[in-house]
Amino acid sequence: MDMGLTGKVAVVMASSRGLGRASALQLAREGAHLAIASRSAERIAATAKAISAETGARVLHRAVDVTRAEDIAAFAAEVASVYGRVDVLVNNGGGPPPGTFDALDEQAFVAATNLVLLNVVRTTKAILPLIRSHKGGGRIITVTSAGAREPLYNMMLSNSLRPAIHGWTKTLSKELGPEGITVNCIAPGIVGTERIDELIAANSQRMVKPPEQVRAEMIARIPLGRFGRPEEFGAVVAFLGSAWASYISGTTIYVDGAAMASVV
């Protein structure tokens, strides 16, 4: 089945591991060329090599800290000079630290705003001209969290900031719709990555319970009976990035194994 991604250029941020990596890999499997970035030059180079070896895709890679405007500007300039265009942008970043309100000072909120919200704003500002330039429409997809709709235990920073991205996405979808550019979010529930292992360790300490018990209790709250797999998340990114998703914009797809209780 041709998803219309062959020869398209996809930029995937924070993609050396976890959800970003799985997203980049699936886009490449569907025929896209990639530009991928994360903080560690070694990790992102290794990921680029592995994806290229598996898929044959052209993979540009660079060390970028999404909290640093100058890193993103340099990456966008390199993407412009190598590919001259972008069709799909996947905004992603590391997650903010866990913690309750009492445990977090104002500086923690400032740092998390930079990582979670301003990252998306500055990356989109840098890449949007490359989507607009070819006048062929495009896709902007942002990785958020199911906690944006149903707040998660001990995740004050993420729960506070992700909903702002949903508001930004809805607003931008209306502004860019006339140019054929769709703007959406994908919100994971619990997808098994290193980030989840770290959160289980933090919750285990806080709840004074063994990590295996914390994990089992989390799984017990998921009707599908397990954590999601990164490739299941990557498949949704590839779908939203594809020609098949041409009439979906301004919305959020939840990839949560039916864990959330909200109807709308």
Ligand X SMILES: NC(=O)c1ccc[n+]([C@@H]2O[C@H](COP(=O)([O-])OP(=O)(O)OC[C@H]3O[C@@H](n4cnc5c(N)ncnc54)[C@H](OP(=O)(O)O)[C@@H]3O)[C@@H](O)[C@H]2O)c1
Would you tell me which residues interact with ligand X (CB under 6 A)? 14-20, 38-40, 43-44, 64-67, 92-95, 143, 145, 188, 190-191, 193-196
What is the nearest approach in angstroms of ligand X to the Cβ of residue 75? 10
117 vs 248 by CB, closer to ligand X? 117
42 vs 179 by CB, closer to ligand X? 42
Q: State the Cα–Cα distance between residues 138 and 177, nearest whole angstrom.
A: 10
Q: Render 12-56 in DSSP notation, one character per residue.
A: ESS-SSHHHHHHHHHHHHTT-EEEEEES-HHHHHHHHHHHHHHH-
Residue closest to 9 by CA, chosen among 81, 92, 115: 81
Q: State the Cα–Cα distance between residues 62 and 79, nearest whole angstrom.
A: 10
193 vs 203 by CB, closer to ligand X? 193
User: Residue 208, class by beta-carbon neighbours within 10 Å (0-12 exposed, 13-18 middle, 19+ buried)?
Assistant: exposed
Helix (H, G, I), strand (E, B) or coil at 11: strand
Q: At what angle do helices 211-220 and 194-207 cross, to 10 degrees?
A: 110
What is the nearest approach in angstroms of ligand X to the Cβ of residue 243? 25
80 vs 117 by CB, closer to ligand X? 117
Helix (H, G, I), strand (E, B) or coil at 258: coil
From edge to edge, which strands make up the β-sheet containing 59-63? 59-63, 33-38, 9-12, 88-91, 138-143, 181-188, 252-255
What is the nearest approach in angstroms of ligand X to the Cβ of residue 164? 14
96 vs 138 by CB, closer to ligand X? 96
What is the nearest approach in angstroms of ligand X to the Cβ of residue 175? 24
H or E segment and range at residue 185? strand 181-188
214 vs 247 by CB, closer to ligand X? 214
Check: CB of residue 47 under 8 Å from CB of residue 24.
yes
Q: How many CB atoms lie within 10 A of CB 146?
A: 21
What is the nearest approach in angstroms of ligand X to the Cβ of residue 61? 11
What is the nearest approach in angstroms of ligand X to the Cβ of residue 179? 27
32 vs 48 by CB, closer to ligand X? 48
What is the nearest approach in angstroms of ligand X to the Cβ of residue 192? 7
